[in-house]
Chain A
Amino acid sequence: MYRRFLNARSPLRLLEKGLHGGLGSGNLGLVIAGPGVGKTSFLVGVALDELMRNKPVLHVTLGHNVQHVRDYYNTVFEELAHTTQLDENHVAARAEMDRLRRIRAYPQSSFDAKRLREALALEAELGPRPELVVVDGLDVAQRTAAELEEWASAARDAHAEVWMGASVAGERIASLPAELRPLEGSFSVILALEPGDGSVALRALKDHDSRDVSALHVALDPKTLLLVRS
């Protein structure tokens, strides 16, 4: 019950229903937002959605320590368990989440496509192969399109999709900021998070090859970043 409820309210439904079946294996996805709006929460939410389907996730963090990321998951998880108030054995659900989630921390400068490849290979050797990678803390604007192409190639070889977040200046995002424009082609999906009226607005800036993405927006609960109940 609990799991299905969580999955049903995941913001990813925006992509699956309105878009073309989600990000898709071998693709890179980007979520952009101003500082503190909730990039990491969004990424953790994407990861939880996968974990609640009993599928492993690789969480790469640059600049944060492992414990910090783990606390983040626990907080979001407890918040969800609390707000959904569904009576499932959540100790067991949390233990399962811990087991399936792999956190890897690196210094910002030392993480690249080669490391991503190594990490995915190592995880595949040790247990079920993660098909979802989330990367938090990456300084996306400092990377080149050629480099991101290598990331995509690593993702394709591992049959995984990779979500990452990028900080932008200011809360309002009219369009893709200039510093990220050269990288637009590297991402299959680009989403923007903006603070709204009692909620957080999630909007698609790019969806694979779609011309018109104007209909793709939803309101999220500011605490959990789940879809607001309609």
Chain B
Amino acid sequence: MINELAKIRNIGISAHIDSGKTTLTERILFYTKRIHKISEVKGKDGAGATMDFMDLERERGITIQSAATHTTWDEHFINIIDTPGHVDFTIEVERALRVLDGAILVLCGVAGVQSQSLTVDRQMRRYKVPRLAFINKLDRSGANPYRVTQQLREKLAHNAVMMQIPIGVEAKHEGVIDLITMEAVTFGGDQGEAIQRGPIPPELQDEAAVARETMLDAVSMYSDELTEAILEERVTEELIHEAVRRGTLSRALTPVFMGSAYKNKGVQLLLDAVIRYLPSPLDVENTAVDLSADEAPIVLPSDPNKPLVALAFKLEEGRYGQLTYTRVYQGTLAKGGNIENSRTNRRHKVGRLVRMHADSMEDIESAGAGDIVALFGIDCASGDTFTDGTIDVAMSSMHVPDPVVSIAIKAKDAKAQDNLAKALGRFVREDPTFRSHVDPESNETVISGMGELHLDVYVERMKREYNVEVQTGAPQVAYRETISQRADYSYVHKKQTGGSGQYAKVAGYIEPLPEGDGRIWEFSNEVRGGAIPTEFMGAVEKGFASALVKGRLIGFPTIGVKVVVNDGQSHAVDSSEMAFISAARGAFRSCYSAARPIILEPVMKLAVEGPAEFQGAALKTIMQRRGTVIGTTEEAGFCRVEAEVPLAEMFGYATDLRSQTQGKAEFTMEFARYLPCPNEVTKELLEKYADRRKDEE
């Protein structure tokens, strides 16, 4: 077990595609001696066919993009956690980000801050992750770390401070000048493993002096001691390190490092910085929710002696069965110990506990607070919390929103059907907001989720990971029906067809549940004096429940209804459960239109961000979609528009926004609430439903 929490770093490496994340990750693993040979991302034939992670992994037989890879540097333990760069708010992204304590933001030295950097950065900001920046590809023509640092300041509003300056760029890139030690650092040996420190070349001395002054100026903001030391001209390396660390941890400062991973320059110094400036689990405050106290937030101290709390943040189907990546937040996870899933309340015995390395896995006996390890053969869903059973807490809320959009899918190749089923089974387990079912009417497989993009991601993963190409139907919005006023009913179900008949009578009323109640329905039995025998009340409830499943306006579930039964009648011979189920269904049908039913549509919370000059264009795309603008925030040349827009209007939004804003604005979207459809939309939906009914007949 790693006892020294202060020596653990749980970090992510986030980057724009093509800024060199793969190469940098590989170099990190090489220098930390986890892999023994460097292979290039580019194909050996030199034709420039870029291999992706998967191919590279396959060829090398290593995992450099597993959910968490463990490595060591300078007596510290580093867990590198894969951060998926999806744009949308999927639960998966959320979970990967919350297990990080810090991150490296990789930027291309030529292209600088690109649109995807904005997205990644925003996610990090949302999860309050302290960051270092690494400006990569200084060997490329057009590289300019000063410009990229400026972009970090202007476009991402980071207080970015260069901790190094380059010794030559483009073809002449040799190394960097460390502005703390004021030394020239070059990287010799075949693979840059021999670090040489020497005096700063004369031609760079002035530039270095100016850059150091700028750096000290910025960094001294976070340390009074350093400020004093500067005035008294007795600055030490330790004082600077301390100030940089403080600034970084408070997310007020982003120290900037640079080099070229491909040319083996600068990577070791970046690793030193990870150890020096990024937080250990002790520096980060983690919160969970107390399930025994209405999900009140509680702080979890990273203490290995407290009761266990661990989060399963990622599942992987490996060669040896299901691997569950877990972060321990409090307490200790031990082999042979018992753990309890706080969602299902099921207990499991920890059979095998492993640490994942790039090329192997290592069995371990226990893992303490702050550590990231994998469990073998534990049946759970991703996002589940494990405890030792003595406390009832969860790392995230147990409330999972219902999906708001569905599409029908079909494997293009009948042989792929098995794989499709496997893929769906796994995705459903990984992501509670993703659902799949077979529609009984059309016999089609339907997948549902939190947005068009959310489902796109899974369709893409079916292809990539399971080799299943699917055809997708048009996205369907999950409408709901509800009622807007009270309506009374009194209904007799009576059938006399020879033999024993059917007789049941129910009476009462239905009314809307109060706004914001959140429940699907409420059943209230107010029958007095045994007008309906108690043994049939279950059937009455069942009858109403089944009537709610398919609304009578457009066939979507009816929600927000209170059903009150206060009278009825039964017959000694002819009453049965079936009769009362039918009576309840008939009663609901009979009063539904008197209760003024309306159609509800899912409304999404949309945030569009981009340069301020596209604000008008972005606002127009919202207006055109029956959107309500909540507000606009303008800062440093950027603007953010928040709005609520009906989901039905959002299909194809990505393309439209791109063309309206020259690709410079981005958006994120999540489900907000259900709201009544406007009249014209209701009319259209009713007509469509009527047409469909006609077709079916």
Measured CB to CB, the residues of A under 8 A from B are 65-67, 69-70, 91, 95, 98-99, 102-107, 110, 115, 122, 125-127
Question: How far is A70 from B615 in the complex, measured between Cα atoms in Å?
Answer: 20
The interface residues of chain A lying within 8 Å CB-to-CB of B633 are: 65-66, 104-106
Question: How far is A69 from B642 in the complex, measured between Cα atoms in Å?
Answer: 13
In contact, A102 and B634 (Cβ under 8 angstroms): no
In contact, A91 and B515 (Cβ under 8 angstroms): yes
Give the shortest distance, in Å, between A100 (CB) and chain B (any CB).
10
Known: A91-B515, A106-B635, A127-B623. A67 touches B630 (CB 8 A): yes
B interface bracket (residues with beta carbon within 8 Å of A): 10 to 19
Given known contacts A66-B642, A102-B629, what 16 new A-B pairs fall within 8 Å (CB)? A65-B633, A66-B631, A67-B631, A70-B631, A95-B675, A98-B630, A103-B630, A104-B631, A104-B632, A105-B632, A105-B633, A107-B636, A110-B634, A110-B635, A115-B634, A122-B619
> What mask results when residues 616 to 632 of chain B are scored 1 for a CB within 8 Å of chain A, else 0?
10011001000011111
The interface residues of chain B lying within 8 Å CB-to-CB of A99 are: 628
Name 12 A/B residue pairs within 8 A (Cβ), A-sorted.
A65-B633, A70-B631, A91-B515, A99-B628, A105-B633, A106-B633, A106-B634, A107-B635, A107-B636, A122-B615, A126-B620, A126-B623
The interface residues of chain B lying within 8 Å CB-to-CB of A106 are: 633-635
The interface residues of chain B lying within 8 Å CB-to-CB of A127 are: 623
The chain B residue with its CB closest to the CB of A125 is B616
Question: How far is A65 from B642 in the complex, measured between Cα atoms in Å?
Answer: 11
Give the shortest distance, in Å, between A169 (CB) and chain B (any CB).
29
Interface of A is mostly: helix
> What mask results when residues 638 to 662 of chain B are scored 1 for a CB within 8 Å of chain A, else 0?
0000101000000000000000000
The chain B residue with its CB closest to the CB of A107 is B635
Which residues 586-638 in B have Cβ within 8 Å of A in the complex?
Answer: 615-616, 619-620, 623, 628-636
The interface residues of chain B lying within 8 Å CB-to-CB of A104 are: 631-634
Question: How far is A103 from B600 in the complex, measured between Cα atoms in Å?
Answer: 26
The interface residues of chain A lying within 8 Å CB-to-CB of B623 are: 126-127
Question: How far is A110 from B635 in the complex, measured between Cα atoms in Å?
Answer: 8
Give the shortest distance, in Å, between A202 (CB) and chain B (any CB).
28
Question: How far is A125 from B617 in the complex, measured between Cα atoms in Å?
Answer: 11
Known: A66-B642, A126-B620, A127-B623. A105 touches B628 (CB 8 A): no
Question: How far is A65 from B633 in the complex, measured between Cα atoms in Å?
Answer: 8
Question: How far is A127 from B634 in the complex, measured between Cα atoms in Å?
Answer: 20
Known: A125-B616, A126-B620, A127-B623. A98 touches B631 (CB 8 A): no
Give the shortest distance, in Å, between A113 (CB) and chain B (any CB).
15
The interface residues of chain A lying within 8 Å CB-to-CB of B634 are: 104-106, 110, 115
The interface residues of chain A lying within 8 Å CB-to-CB of B616 are: 122, 125-126
Question: How far is A104 from B629 in the complex, measured between Cα atoms in Å?
Answer: 10
Question: How far is A82 from B616 in the complex, measured between Cα atoms in Å?
Answer: 37
The chain B residue with its CB closest to the CB of A66 is B631
Give the shortest distance, in Å, between A96 (CB) and chain B (any CB).
10
For the complex of A and B, the 4 pairs showing the least CB-CB separation, nearest first, are A66-B631, A103-B631, A105-B633, A104-B632
Question: How far is A127 from B616 in the complex, measured between Cα atoms in Å?
Answer: 12
Give the shortest distance, in Å, between A106 (CB) and chain B (any CB).
5
The interface residues of chain B lying within 8 Å CB-to-CB of A70 are: 630-631
The chain B residue with its CB closest to the CB of A111 is B634
The chain B residue with its CB closest to the CB of A59 is B631
The interface residues of chain A lying within 8 Å CB-to-CB of B619 are: 122, 126
The interface residues of chain A lying within 8 Å CB-to-CB of B675 are: 95
Question: How far is A116 from B633 in the complex, measured between Cα atoms in Å?
Answer: 13
Give the shortest distance, in Å, between B342 (CB) and chain A (any CB).
30
The chain A residue with its CB closest to the CB of B616 is A122
Question: How far is A103 from B629 in the complex, measured between Cα atoms in Å?
Answer: 8
In contact, A102 and B631 (Cβ under 8 angstroms): yes
In contact, A66 and B632 (Cβ under 8 angstroms): yes
Give the shortest distance, in Å, between A181 (CB) and chain B (any CB).
32
Question: How far is A127 from B619 in the complex, measured between Cα atoms in Å?
Answer: 11
> What mask results when residues 78 to 119 of chain B are scored 1 for a CB within 8 Å of chain A, else 0?
000000000000000000000000000000000000000000
